[in-house]
């Protein structure tokens, strides 16, 4: 049960009645105009929550972000949290729910994990509208020189389904369309989702949608959504989705939960609209970027901060003893106490702390404490951070809520209050650099790679994008989250490796080029026994088993 009426949460943020669209008793949307009305107001402090390379179980980064905001509010700071909304597919797959855990959750968890306010459905509808019009253009030949083999706009679905990764459409001949190979991505990997999270308002959203490229003509020139004449129709499907979603934590802290791009495929950050609105309404805003500093924090800086001119104060690096054991070589025994393995695994933590500094932010280590951690292992981590000169704190928000987050909240609050004024992050590359050079800067500085190997296909496409005038876009690397390298088996702090790029894809509306490494997939599959087997709804309509 929540501790406050949502109306009280809205009042704390200083939101007016005409700035809010209620979605039942416990959810609301805050209209974009609320942000425009506050343009002259100062921003609060922005705290980024990132992490080390996780295990498949995750290290509690979302739980830490939520608990930290609760802890700051317990210190009587006007705090808010701004995080992504979960993708429904992984909720039914391996991951389960994405609303935090234990006593550090956003609520109503069941709604947020499933349909919420319908934003992901709107994204899928807009994306698939474009796909259907592309196939219609092929059938009626309304876009000169556009051929089936030159279309690369796929369809999306918010479900984990490996059978849809590669499909053939248009079978049956005659009036059934043009037969061609295509496939499905998960909705969170849609460029529409990225656009939704980076747009400043509805006009910007419409402009970005119009610039999205769906294919190429025979002469190599791009075919955009504007060429199809449906940018307005797609934007109409997103007119409500652009407004930020507002709920609260179990302890009543305001929580903006808006947008959900994947962290290892897309840019992995919640919406710019929600983050900027939170900064106008709160003293401290805690936000999260997907996975570790090599993925989430890098994209947060080069894509989200650069687009929105954000100035983060502090970056919290979430670590767990379990993950450090794994990085130290404990392997399948990673749940058994092993201080020596933890000590060896600290090299991974060191690199992520370095990365935060490379990106111009002040690091704080949050050790998310689990029941299986031994005192000796916890002491190894905290002593190491002290020797490294990095502030560190234990986090027990899952178990104790804001009380278990106080140690971390006090450290973060001290830095946010008494540290130097926040400045722009330190960007690793300039927009005018060649795309390959931007990628090289990220890989060598943040991954620790010796360099980058481009496949002939990737090299040709990067060159073509630059010829077409897209050279100033950012790079968005699709890479495994489990390793600093592009090989998930290389744990710890790998050295002596090069990153291999197999393909690239233009996301002109989002403002970046997606770079594919390793075997990262844009449509996840289900495990042998998916989480869906444990989900049910009781006679009162309550969802059970969603953890």
Q: Please write the tens of the pLDDT for every residue from 124-183.
A: 999 999 999 999 999 999 999 999 999 999 999 999 999 999 999 999 988 899 999 999
| Candidate from 72-76, 143-147, 543-547 with smallest mean pLDDT | 543-547
Q: Among 324, 413, 402, 310, which Cα is nearest to 64's?
A: 402
Confidence of residue 218 (pLDDT cuts 50, 70, 90): very high
CATH classification of the domain holding 135:
3.30.1510.10
536 located within any domain:
no
Neighbouring C-beta atoms of residue 407, cutoff 10 Å: 16
Residues 247 and 384 in one domain: yes
| Residue 547: inside a domain | no
Residues composing the chain = 547
Q: How far lies 202's CA from each of 16, 86, 183, 210, in Å?
A: 20, 23, 29, 12
Q: Which sign, positive or negative, has the C-alpha torsion 288, 294, 299, 302?
A: positive
- What mean pLDDT do residues 491-500 have? 97
Q: Please say whether the beta carbons of 365 and 68 come within 8 A.
A: no
Model pLDDT for residues 350-359, shown as the tens digit of each residue: 999 999 999 9
Which residues have C-beta within 8 Å of that of residue 374, sequence separation ≥ 6?
321, 337, 339
Residue 333 pLDDT: 61
Cβ neighbours of residue 12 closer than 8 Å, sequence gap 6 or more? 78, 254
For residue 134, count CB atoms less than 10 angstroms from its CB and return exposed for 0-12, middle for 13-18, buried for 19 or more. Answer: buried
Q: Are 330 and 338 in contact (CB under 8 A)?
A: yes
What's the Cα-to-Cα distance from 408 to each of 147, 367, 422, rounded to whole Å? 56, 9, 20
Domain co-membership, 210 together with 334: no
What average pLDDT does range 457-473 have in this prediction? 96
pLDDT at 3 over 70: no
* pLDDT tens string 131-145: 999 999 999 999 999
| Residue 193 belongs to some domain of the structure | yes
pLDDT over 90 for what percent of the chain? Answer: 84
Beta bridge partners, 223, equal: 215
Give the mean pLDDT of the chain.
Answer: 94
Express each pLDDT in 29-61 by its tens digit. Answer: 999 999 999 998 999 999 999 999 998 878 899
Q: Are residues 111 and 249 in the same domain?
A: yes
Domain boundary among 237, 272, 292: 237
User: Residue 92 — pLDDT band, cuts 50, 70, 90?
Assistant: confident
Q: What is the pLDDT of residues 394-434, one digit of tens each?
A: 999 999 999 999 999 999 999 998 877 888 899 999 999 99
Q: Does a structural domain hold residue 543? A: no
Task: For residues 25 and 109, state if they share a domain.
Answer: yes
The answer to whether position 245 is within a domain reads yes
Can you tell me the mean pLDDT for 375-403?
A: 96
Pair 39, 147 in one domain: no
Q: Which two tokens stand for residue 6?
A: 């949502």
Q: How far apart are CA 388 and CA 352, in angstroms?
A: 13
pLDDT(1) > 50: no
With respect to residue 539, please indicate whether it lies within any of the assigned structural domains: no
Residue 265 has pLDDT above 90, yes or no: no
Structure tokens at 518: 């390793």
Q: Which of 178, 205, 237 is the last residue of a domain?
A: 237
Phi, psi angles (nearest 5°) of residue 506 = -80, 130
Residue 240 pLDDT more than 80? yes
Question: Which pLDDT value is given to residue 534?
Answer: 86
According to the model, what pLDDT value does residue 435 have? 98
Residues 183, 91 share a domain? no
Tell me the average pLDDT across 261-278.
92
Residue 364: name the closest of 414, 298, 422, 418 by CA: 414
What does the H/E/C string look like for 290-356?
Answer: CCCHHHHHHHHHHHHHHHHCCCEEEEEEEECHHHHHHHCCCHHHCCCCCHHHHHHHHHHHHHHHHHH
Integer Cα distance of 292 and 99 in angstroms = 18
My answer on whether 364 and 449 are in the same domain is: no
Identify whether residues 111 and 128 lie together within a single domain. no
Same domain, 388 and 471: no
Provide mean pLDDT across the span 491-499.
97
- 529 domain-assigned: no
Residue 2 pLDDT greater than 80, yes or no:
no
What stretch of H or E contains 502? strand 498-507
Average pLDDT (499-517) is: 96
For residue 507, give its domain range: 435-517
Confidence of residue 332 (pLDDT cuts 50, 70, 90): low
**178 and 151 inside one domain:** yes
Q: Where among 237, 267, 291 does a domain terminate?
A: 237
The answer to whether the beta carbons of residues 279 and 285 sit under 8 Å apart is yes
Q: Which residue has the tokens 């739980």?
A: 63
Q: Do 224 and 250 share a domain, yes or no?
A: no
Averaged pLDDT, 57-69: 93
Counted domains in the chain: 3
| CATH of residue 72 | 3.40.50.300
Tell me how many helices (H) and strands (E) the chain has.
Answer: 20, 25
Residue 499 domain-assigned (yes or no): yes
Band (pLDDT 50/70/90 cuts) for residue 255 is very high
CATH of residue 473: 3.10.410.10
Pair (293, 208) in one structural domain: no
Q: Is 536 exposed, middle or buried (0-12, 13-18, 19+ CB in 10 A)?
A: exposed
State yes or no: pLDDT of 63 exceeds 70. Answer: yes
Cβ count near 221 (within 10 Å): 12
């Amino acid at each position: 049960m929540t501790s406050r009426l949502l109306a009280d949460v809205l009042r704390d943020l200083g939101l007016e009645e005409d700035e809010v669209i209620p979605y039942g008793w416990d959810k609301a949307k805050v209209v974009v105009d609320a942000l425009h009305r506050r343009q002259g107001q100062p921003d609060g402090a922005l705290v980024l929550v990132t992490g080390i390379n996780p295990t498949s179980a995750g290290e509690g980064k979302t739980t830490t972000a939520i608990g930290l905001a609760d802890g700051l509010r317990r210190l009587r700071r006007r705090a808010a949290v701004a995080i992504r909304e979960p993708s429904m597919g992984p909720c039914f797959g391996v991951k389960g729910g994405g609303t935090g855990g234990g006593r550090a959750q956003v609520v109503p968890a069941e709604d947020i994990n499933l349909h919420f306010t319908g934003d992901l459905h709107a994204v899928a509808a807009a994306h698939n509208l474009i796909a259907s019009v592309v196939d219609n253009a092929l059938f009626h030949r309304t876009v000169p020189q556009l051929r089936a083999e030159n279309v690369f706009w796929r369809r999306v679905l918010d479900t984990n389904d490996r059978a849809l990764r590669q499909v053939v459409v248009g079978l049956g001949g005659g009036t059934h369309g043009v037969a061609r190979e295509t496939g499905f991505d998960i909705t969170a990997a849609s460029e529409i989702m990225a656009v939704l999270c980076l747009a400043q308002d509805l006009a910007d959203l419409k402009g970005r949608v119009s610039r999205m490229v769906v294919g190429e003509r025979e002469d190599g020139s791009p075919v955009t959504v504007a060429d199809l004449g449906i940018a307005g129709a797609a934007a109409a499907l997103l007119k409500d989705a652009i407004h930020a979603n507002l709920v609260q934590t179990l302890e009543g802290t305001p929580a903006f939960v808006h947008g959900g791009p994947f962290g290892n495929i897309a840019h992995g950050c919640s919406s710019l609209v929600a983050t900027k609105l939170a900064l106008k309404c709160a003293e401290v805003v805690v936000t999260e970027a997907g996975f570790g500093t090599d993925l989430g924090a890098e994209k947060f800086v080069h894509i989200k901060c650069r687009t929105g001119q954000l100035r983060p104060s502090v970056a919290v690096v979430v670590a767990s003893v379990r993950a450090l054991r794994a990085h130290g070589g404990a392997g399948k025994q990673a749940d058994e106490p092993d201080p020596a393995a933890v000590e060896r695994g600290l090299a991974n933590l060191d690199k992520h702390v370095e990365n935060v500094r490379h990106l111009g932010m002040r690091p704080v280590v949050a050790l998310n404490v689990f029941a299986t951690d031994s005192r000796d292992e916890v002491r190894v981590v905290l002593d190491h951070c002290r020797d490294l000169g990095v502030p560190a704190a234990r986090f027990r928000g899952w178990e104790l809520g804001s009380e278990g987050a106080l140690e971390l909240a006090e450290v973060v609050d001290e830095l946010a209050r008494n540290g130097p004024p926040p400045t722009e992050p330190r960007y690793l590359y300039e927009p005018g650099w060649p795309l390959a050079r931007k990628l090289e800067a990220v890989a060598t500085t943040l991954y620790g790679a010796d360099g980058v190997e481009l496949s002939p296909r990737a090299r040709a496409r990067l060159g073509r994008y630059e010829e077409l005038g897209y050279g100033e876009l950012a790079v968005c690397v699709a890479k495994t989250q489990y390793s600093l390298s592009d090989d998930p088996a290389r744990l710890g702090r790998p050295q002596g490796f090069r990153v291999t790029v197999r393909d690239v894809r233009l996301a002109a509306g989002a403002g970046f080029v997606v770079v594919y490494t390793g075997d990262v997939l844009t449509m996840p599959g289900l495990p042998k026994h998916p989480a869906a087997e444990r989900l049910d709804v009781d006679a009162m309509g309550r969802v059970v088993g969603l953890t």
